[in-house]
Amino acid sequence: MANSDNSVSVFAPASIGNVSVGFDVLGLAVKPIDGTLLGDVVTVAASTGNDSLTVIGRFAEKLPSNKEDNIVWSCLLLFNDALIAAGQTPVNVALTLDKKMPVGSGLGSSACSVVAALAGLNAFYAKFQSFSFDENTVLKMTGQMEAQISGSLHYDNVAPCYLGGLQLMVPDVNVISRHLPTFDECFYVMAYPGIEVSTKAARDVLPTSYSRSDVISYGQNLATFVDACHRNDKQQAFSVLTDVVAEPYRTSLLPKYQESRDYLTAQGALAVGISGSGPTLFCICDSESQAEQFALWLKENYLQTSLGFVHVCKVDEIGATAL
Ligand SMILES: Nc1ncnc2c1ncn2[C@@H]1O[C@H](COP(=O)(O)OP(=O)(O)OP(=O)(O)O)[C@@H](O)[C@H]1O
Ligand SMILES: N[C@@H](CCO)C(=O)O
């Protein structure tokens, strides 16, 4: 995208929250292999008038019409407050959100808007005002905005969306997220059925406590997966990609999920899971031909409305990027 002399555009990619074994603590950024921009773009331009927000794009009409209710606007307010606290003077800007991501999809739609907005503002100030916040400060802001919209602080979409790759959240405010190695040769089929599931509703169905055996399985699966990623042991990593925390309780919210999971697993998928809080299903494959074959099957069998889509993806190791 070509920018006028006074603007900056940032793209922020879709992500798989949880990656089945890391509820709220694992996330993976993905990008379609055909070059489709699966994510949101925010353009920040200098303005001679007041601050403004324009929303365009395929899913623009799914967002609140009032700019104050758009999370991108909240990002601007937060960013300006942080500028003032840092002794800087905010300038007036015209923001444009290209809303390419369906809302309530499990693809980290609000995270895409939040990251594109905050990384876009930071890039704009770096370019035109010779000032920028460091990566960790911006990451904390993205977490704060995601918490405002979903009701709880979880970085599993914003961290991979901003930083790229597979990210593990660590309980240290000075670190927040650690990059984990992934399996370069794998393909990730992302199937969004075209229906909305709100993150809040999908969190409300979860139990408030878990049995000892579930806690043991959870810890063992996550630890084994992280260890296998570091040893590049694909077989071990995907053999434990089982979610005992959320999937058993969310399946009822996702029409055709269970049958699709069973079918794809029987056909040899490395792993199948719910992306974030759903309804997007992800399926991990060993080869591009298998991924294309499963994508076709998912188009015919998992999509519910004309808004649905399926993409064959690889890991997006870059995260938010200036266009
Ligand atoms: N720019 C924005 N992008 C997405 N949602 C927004 C935005 N601005 C405001 N919202 C509102 O935030 C809420 C987002 O809901 P929710 O957290 O369920 O969706 P999500 O982030 O799209 O989910 P997911 O992470 O599963 O893709 C919706 O009510 C939506 O209208
Ligand atoms: N970890 C969050 C992701 C939301 O996209 C959840 O599963 O509720």
CA distance 123 to 71: 18
- Would you say residue 18 has pLDDT above 70? yes
CA distance 254 to 245: 16
pLDDT at 189: 98
- Ligand 2 lined by 243 (C-beta under 6 Å): no
Q: Whose CA is nearest to atom 8 of ligand 2?
A: 277
- Would you say residue 52 has pLDDT above 70? yes
Between the CA of 103 and the centroid of ligand 1 the distance, in Å, is 5
Q: Are the CB atoms for 114 and 40 separated by under 8 Å?
A: no
Was 111 annotated as part of a binding site?
yes
Domains of the chain: residue spans and CATH: 7-179 (3.30.230.10), 181-313 (3.30.70.890)
Q: Average pLDDT for residues 27-45, to the nearest whole number?
A: 98
Q: Average pLDDT for residues 77-101, to the nearest whole number?
A: 98
Q: Label residue 115 by pLDDT band (50, 70, 90).
A: very high
- Ligand 1 lined by 106 (C-beta under 6 Å): yes
The whole-model pTM stands at 0.96
Give the nearest ligand 1 atom to 201 CA.
Answer: 18
- Would you say residue 128 has pLDDT above 80? yes
Nearest ligand by distance to the CA of 147: 1
- Would you say residue 200 has pLDDT above 90? no
pLDDT at 159: 98
pLDDT at 3: 53
Phi-psi region at 107: left, alpha or beta (left = phi > 0; alpha = psi -120 to 50): alpha
Between the CA of 182 and the centroid of ligand 2 the distance, in Å, is 21
Q: Label residue 5 by pLDDT band (50, 70, 90).
A: confident
- Ligand 2 lined by 62 (C-beta under 6 Å): no
**Nearest-5° angle of CA 138, CA 140, CA 143?**
115
Rg (CA), the chain: 19
pLDDT at 1: 40
Between the CA of 210 and the centroid of ligand 2 the distance, in Å, is 17
Q: Average pLDDT for residues 13-37, to the nearest whole number?
A: 98
Mean pLDDT taken over the chain: 96
Q: Please name which of 133, 110, 107 lies closest in space to residue 120, comparing C-alpha atoms.
A: 133
Q: Label residue 151 by pLDDT band (50, 70, 90).
A: confident
- Ligand 1 lined by 39 (C-beta under 6 Å): no
Q: Average pLDDT for residues 26-49, to the nearest whole number?
A: 97
Name residue 249's amino acid.
Answer: Y
- Ligand 2 lined by 105 (C-beta under 6 Å): no
Q: Average pLDDT for residues 231-245, to the nearest whole number?
A: 97
Q: Which of 19-28, 86-95, 119-128, 197-206 has the lowest mean pLDDT?
A: 197-206
